[in-house]
Structure 1
Amino acid sequence: MDTRELAKIDLNLLISLQVLLEERNVSRAAERLYITQPAMSKTLSRLRSLFDDPLFTRSSHGMQPTPRADELTQGLSEILAGISHLVSNSHFDPAQCSAEVTLAVSEYIGVTLLPALTARLQAQAPLLHLKIITRVENQLEQLALGNLDFAIHIRQNQYGGDFRIADLGGSPPVLLMRAEHPLSQVPVTETHLGQYPIIRLYVSDREQLDVTPISSSLEEARQWSRGTLEISHLMTAMEVLRNTDYLMPGPAFLLQNESVAQGITAQPFPGAEDISVDYVLVSHHRTANSPMHSWLWEQITCTIRELRPTQPRKLRQRVAAGST
């Protein structure tokens, strides 16, 4: 695109041409544009110079467009409509939205959220392209750069003023293990953490998280544990749990998904019984005036609100009973 040529054009001339094509009369076109007839005549002269064509000729039936003017008519309305849409806060229709939206969400959050969210979006915005990224570091930077539209993660220690944040609620941390694990029927202590290998599930921007007590316990246990397995694939991690004596710290809401939690039980995380790990939805203020992003924000938060009521009671029962 040669922007230098575009910069030479007064877009008001195109509006005037559109009105002239509709009215076929200089006086009526002047009235619609709230200018005098001489000013309208001068505008027509500038249009003729711009397009190097008379554009209109006089006849007994008024002004008649030339072939060049007829040619311009075909695209001018669409161009002006596009400009109007570009600069206005147009109505957003989810059913017609075919944009691509990128959401960063860890697999252990997504396995609970995404089935309900995608069902909602499929019903309301069937043309939407939703791209899920489960492993991405520096999420706040990626939001600011436009590489992400939304992120759902554990609350970080600090957010700048450029970010919009919604609290999504919290979940108690638990120790996940196979149902027949030696610790499944006894109170787990910090000493136990050093007697069994531990799975460390990937968490983005771990060093920025506000979960210091849990991190400290894990780091201490890691120094004298029997080994660790670091992994980013939740389903693989759960399969390892089902077939070994590994322990895995994780959010209690994972037990809400029956297929994921089959054969798995949980015990309270030692020393963190009164702690809640809080989750947030984050976007950058660059999307603040986007109707599409505002609509999606509401869909995500509404989906989580609908999931939340059944979660606390079920999870407390599971953790307390140590059952699958």
Structure 2
Amino acid sequence: MDTKDLAKIDLNLLISLQVLLEERNVSRAAERLFITQPAMSKTLSRLRSVFDDQLFTRSSHGMQPTPRALELAGPLAEILSGISQLVSRQAFDPAEVETEVTLALSEYIGVALLPTLVPRLQAQAPRLHLRVVTRVENQREQLALGNLDFAIHFRQQHYGPEFRIADLGGSPPVLLLREDHPLSGRDISIAALAEYPVIRLYVSDREQLDAQTGEDLFEYLGGGARGSLEISHLMTAMEVLRSSDYIMPGPAFLLQNESISQGITARTVPGSADMSADYVLVAHQRTENSPLHNWLWEQITCTIRELRPTQPRKLRQRVAAGAAEHR
């Protein structure tokens, strides 16, 4: 786009030309624009200079537009209408949305959230393209750069004023293992846990989780003294748990999804009373005036609020059942 000629144009001149085309009278045009008649005459003179044409000529029936003015009338009305729509806040209708939004979250959070959130979004915004990414480091930076629209992750130690945060709740970690695991028939201690290999599920910005819980859970459980598996695929990790003696620290809400947790039980991590993992929804201030992003923010937080009441009782029952197996 050549901006040199555009820089010479005062938008007010184009508005004045539109009013002159509608009124074909300098006095009435001046009244509509709340300026004096001499000022309107001066504006017309500037318009003639810009377009190198008389634009209007006097006749016994008033001002008559020249062929050049009539030629400008159609495009001018369209341009001004487009500018008006550009600067005005339109009513937001999710059904009309046809764009892509990127959400970063770990797979184990997605398993709990997306089966409820996605149908909700599809019903209201059927042409919305939701892109979910699970492996993203430095998420605050990616939000600021515009590579992410939202992130759901462990609460980090510091967020600048440019970030919008919503607390989503949290819970202490539990130990996931198969229902007939050798540990199910004995007291669990850190020493006992060190006898079994550990699955370390990928978590973006893991140091933030360690900062919350006070230490690296992987190392706390013995560091996989008898072997370990680091993996980013939750479904595969759960299959490994079902078919081996591996153990895996993780959030208790994974047990809420019975289709993936079948055959898996949970035990309280020894000494984990002071450990907690708190989750937040994060967005950058660049989206704070976006009706779409504000609507999506509300859909995500509402979905989590609706899911949360169903979790504690069910999860306590399944964790308690796992703890009772060794009694």
Q: After the TM superposition, which of the residue ranges 89-98 and 215-224 deviates more from structure 2?
A: 215-224
In 1, Cα distance between equivalents of 2:182 and 2:66: 90
SS at 1:204's partner residue?
Answer: coil
Query: 1:32-66 CA distances to partner (integer Å, 9 max, x unpaired)?
Result: 10011222122122222212233334455544444
Q: Which structure 2 residue ranges, 5 or more long, are not aligned? A: none
Q: Cα distance 1:302–1:20, how it changes in 2: closer, same or farther (>3 A)?
A: same
Alpha-carbon shift at residue 182 of structure 1 (Å): 1.5
SS at 2:135's partner residue?
Answer: coil
**Is the 2:16–2:43 Cα contact (8 Å) retained in structure 1?**
yes
In 2, Cα distance between equivalents of 1:248 and 1:7: 63
Q: Cα distance 1:50–1:261, how it changes in 2: closer, same or farther (>3 A)?
A: same
Q: Cα distance 1:29–1:266, how it changes in 2: closer, same or farther (>3 A)?
A: same
AA aligned to 2:74 is Q
Alpha-carbon shift at residue 193 of structure 1 (Å): 2.2
Alpha-carbon shift at residue 309 of structure 1 (Å): 0.9
Query: 1:69-98 CA distances to partner (integer Å, 9 max, x unpaired)?
Result: 334333333322333333344432222222
Q: Find the counterpart in structure 1 of residue 169 from structure 2.
A: 169
Q: Which structure 1 residue ranges, 5 or more long, are not aligned? A: none
**Is the 1:193–1:225 Cα contact (8 Å) retained in structure 2?**
no
Q: Find the counterpart in structure 2 of residue 284 from structure 1.
A: 284
Q: Find the counterpart in structure 1 of residue 300 from structure 2.
A: 300
Q: After the TM superposition, which of the residue ranges 197-206 and 23-32 deviates more from structure 2?
A: 23-32
Alpha-carbon shift at residue 211 of structure 1 (Å): 4.6
Q: After the TM superposition, which of the residue ranges 206-215 and 112-121 deviates more from structure 2?
A: 206-215
In 2, Cα distance between equivalents of 1:212 and 1:318: 25
Q: Find the counterpart in structure 2 of residue 123 from structure 1.
A: 123
In 2, Cα distance between equivalents of 1:236 and 1:189: 26
SS at 1:280's partner residue?
Answer: strand
SS at 1:246's partner residue?
Answer: coil
- Say yes or no: does 1:189 pair with 2:177: no
Q: Cα distance 1:93–1:66, how it changes in 2: closer, same or farther (>3 A)?
A: farther
Residues 304-315 of structure 1: pairs in structure 2 closer than 5 A: 304-315=304-315
In 1, Cα distance between equivalents of 2:200 and 2:223: 14
Q: Find the counterpart in structure 2 of residue 81 from structure 1.
A: 81
AA aligned to 1:37 is Q
In 1, Cα distance between equivalents of 2:46 and 2:17: 10
In 2, Cα distance between equivalents of 1:95 and 1:78: 26
SS at 2:153's partner residue?
Answer: strand
Q: After the TM superposition, which of the residue ranges 165-174 and 57-66 deviates more from structure 2?
A: 57-66
Alpha-carbon shift at residue 202 of structure 1 (Å): 0.7
**Is the 1:175–1:249 Cα contact (8 Å) retained in structure 2?**
yes
AA aligned to 1:206 is R
Could you tell me the TM-score, scaled by structure 1's length? 0.92
Alpha-carbon shift at residue 210 of structure 1 (Å): 5.3
Aligned residue pairs total: 323
RMSD, matched Cα:
2.1
SS at 1:123's partner residue?
Answer: helix
Query: 1:258-306 CA distances to partner (integer Å, 9 max, x unpaired)?
Result: 2111221111122114533110001112222222222211111111111
Q: Find the counterpart in structure 2 of residue 145 from structure 1.
A: 145
In 2, Cα distance between equivalents of 1:232 and 1:292: 30
In 2, Cα distance between equivalents of 1:287 and 1:38: 45
**Is the 1:185–1:322 Cα contact (8 Å) retained in structure 2?**
no
Q: Find the counterpart in structure 2 of residue 200 from structure 1.
A: 200
Could you tell me the TM-score, scaled by structure 2's length? 0.91
**Is the 2:196–2:226 Cα contact (8 Å) retained in structure 1?**
yes
SS at 2:184's partner residue?
Answer: coil
Q: Cα distance 1:67–1:268, how it changes in 2: closer, same or farther (>3 A)?
A: farther
In 2, Cα distance between equivalents of 1:107 and 1:70: 61
In 2, Cα distance between equivalents of 1:320 and 1:214: 25
AA aligned to 1:94 is P
In 1, Cα distance between equivalents of 2:278 and 2:242: 27
SS at 1:175's partner residue?
Answer: strand
Q: Find the counterpart in structure 2 of residue 254 from structure 1.
A: 254
Q: Cα distance 1:252–1:297, how it changes in 2: closer, same or farther (>3 A)?
A: same
**Is the 1:190–1:217 Cα contact (8 Å) retained in structure 2?**
no
Query: 1:183-213 CA distances to partner (integer Å, 9 max, x unpaired)?
Result: 2344422112211111111111111335554
**Identical aligned residues as a percent:** 75
Q: Cα distance 1:213–1:124, how it changes in 2: closer, same or farther (>3 A)?
A: closer
Which consecutive segments of 4 or more residues in structure 1 shift more than 6 A? none
